[in-house]
Amino acid sequence: MVTQRSSRVRLEWGPIGADRIVEPDCLAVVVDVLSFTTALTVAVQVGAEVYPYAWDRQDLGTYAAARDAHHAVGRYEAQRSDSLTSVSLSPRSLAVSSGLLPSPNGSTISFRLRDSGATVVGVSLRNRAAVAAWLDAALEDDPARVLALVAAGERWDDGSLRPAVEDLWGCGALLAGLRDRGADVLREASPEAHVALAAYDAVADDLEAGLVACDSGQELVRAGFRDDVVDAAQLDVSAVVPVLSGERFVDARRPRGE
């Protein structure tokens, strides 16, 4: 069942929400500000190819090894490790050529959408203007194409979805980027998408303060990852457009064959 069917710009939460708004040939944008799509943006910017994968799969190491990819561990596991080269969702750990970045939210959703027939794009605050420009051109080329924003959210202890305000802001930031470009598609946005835009406008003047103060940000700050939150709050510092090509994310701006 497709929800928000009458809207060309849709927004829903988590894996099940993705199933409800994503359809073949649409542009599916995954937003996981803290931290999958921020880590994805940083990794692709340094030239890495990123393989998303479901967090709860038991064959993570085997899957990564078969693709000659570094298997990222959890941020807290990397913190406990004695290794200075542990790859994790901490953006500053991602100087790798190819990496498997599993996460319970953004990565799992991206992996879930791999065979949906949609074009899957990863956006963070860091690359939202670049992605907005790329999406604007794609939407202009096909006036009937749907833009489906998937706010990843977080998880409660029982595994259920916790809507996370930073992902609402991330969706709104992207829509603000389209608005700044005068994109006509916003006239066909759902009420859910308009709420995200209004939420972003409310914090746009001080994104860092908002991210640090929100629940997800505070969790990372208390664990010693304040720098990761600050990195995630940097707006429009990256020009990459991570698009899922087969099993991996690559920069859409990269010429074919590179």
Task: Give 239: exposed, middle or buried? Use CB within 10 Å, 0-12, 13-18, 19+.
Answer: middle
Cross-strand partners of 238:
none
pLDDT band at 88 (very low <50, low <70, confident <90, very high): low
Report whether pLDDT(169) > 90. Answer: yes
Give 117-160 pLDDT, tens digit per residue: 999 999 999 999 999 999 999 999 999 999 999 999 999 999 99
CATH architecture of the domain with range 9-49+106-246: Alpha-Beta Complex (3.90)
Residue 61: per-residue pLDDT: 79
Q: Position 252: which residue type?
A: A
Give the pair of three-digit tokens for residue 179.
């608005």
Residue 202: per-residue pLDDT: 98
Where do runs of H (alpha helix) occur along the chain? 14-21, 36-45, 60-66, 75-80, 106-112, 128-141, 165-180, 191-203, 207-213, 215-222, 226-232
Task: Say how many C-beta atoms besides its own lie within 10 A of residue 20's C-beta.
Answer: 18
Residue 84: per-residue pLDDT: 41
250: left (phi over 0), alpha (psi -120 to 50) or beta: beta
Residue 73: per-residue pLDDT: 61
- Measuring CA to CA, how many Å separate 109 from each of 52, 199, 256? 9, 23, 26
Report whether pLDDT(83) > 50. Answer: no
Domain boundaries of the chain, sorted by first residue: 9-49+106-246
